């Protein structure tokens, strides 16, 4: 069997409400306990310029100004996650954007109360990952490594 199975990366952002509520550790634990690997992570104060780059697809929509204001309102934690099917897997872990539609056991289903304060953002496609990751990380900040547990998750 080949050691090279299809892995992909995704971008996750723990928003200011997750940081302010002291949920960073719990949310990261869910990601790691699923067997996903963090290859880049940093806490940062998102600037209006970064927010504009990240949310450029929403520019001109009625909620855009409040979205940018909220994401810049406090520190966030940006991450790049690696794993097989990482994008869809992380989206399932997060739950629906609207907490009332999120299942118990998902991050938003367990911790979020409204759409604005839904704790976490994640890329929805390889294209959005490529765009969002560049807003927050340089290539040099992404660490390439292999966890020993990968043999228990991906290889027989």
Predicted TM-score (pTM) of the model is: 0.92
Q: How confident is the model at residue 87 (pLDDT cuts 50, 70, 90)?
A: very high
Q: How far is CA 60 from CA 55, 57, 66, 140, in A?
A: 10, 9, 12, 33
Q: What is the pLDDT of residues 101-154, one digit of tens each?
A: 999 999 999 999 899 899 999 999 999 999 999 999 999 999 999 888 888 887
What is the percentage of the chain residues whose pLDDT exceeds 90?
85
Any idea where the domains of the chain sit in the sequence?
11-85+123-145
* Confidence check: pLDDT of 4 > 70: no
The answer to whether 144 and 39 have CB atoms below 8 angstroms apart is yes
Which residues are CB-contacts of 36 (< 8 A; sequence separation ≥ 6)?
A: 81, 82, 83, 86, 89, 90
The answer to whether 121 and 58 have CB atoms below 8 angstroms apart is no
Q: What is the pLDDT of residues 64-76, one digit of tens each?
A: 999 999 999 999 9
Q: How confident is the model at residue 156 (pLDDT cuts 50, 70, 90)?
A: low
Q: Which fold has domain 11-85+123-145?
A: Alpha-Beta Plaits (3.30.70)
List 58, 117, 121, 131, catalytic entry? 121
Q: Is 117 known to be catalytic? A: no
Q: What is the mean pLDDT of residues 28-42?
A: 97
């Amino acid at each position: 069997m080949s050691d090279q199975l299809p892995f992909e990366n995704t971008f996750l952002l723990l928003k200011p409400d997750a940081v302010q509520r002291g949920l960073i550790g719990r949310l990261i634990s869910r990601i790691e306990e699923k067997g996903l690997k963090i290859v880049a992570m940093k806490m940062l104060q998102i600037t209006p310029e970064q927010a504009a780059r990240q949310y450029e697809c929403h520019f001109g929509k009625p909620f855009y100004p409040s979205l940018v204001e909220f994401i810049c309102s406090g520190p966030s934690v940006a991450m790049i996650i690696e794993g097989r099917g990482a994008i869809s897997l992380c989206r399932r872990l997060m739950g629906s954007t609207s907490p009332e539609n999120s299942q118990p056991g998902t991050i938003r289903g367990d911790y979020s109360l409204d759409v604005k304060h839904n704790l976490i953002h994640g890329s929805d496609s390889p294209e959005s990952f490529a765009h969002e990751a560049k807003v927050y990380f340089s290539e040099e900040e992404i660490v390439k490594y292999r966890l020993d547990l990968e043999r228990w998750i991906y290889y027989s």
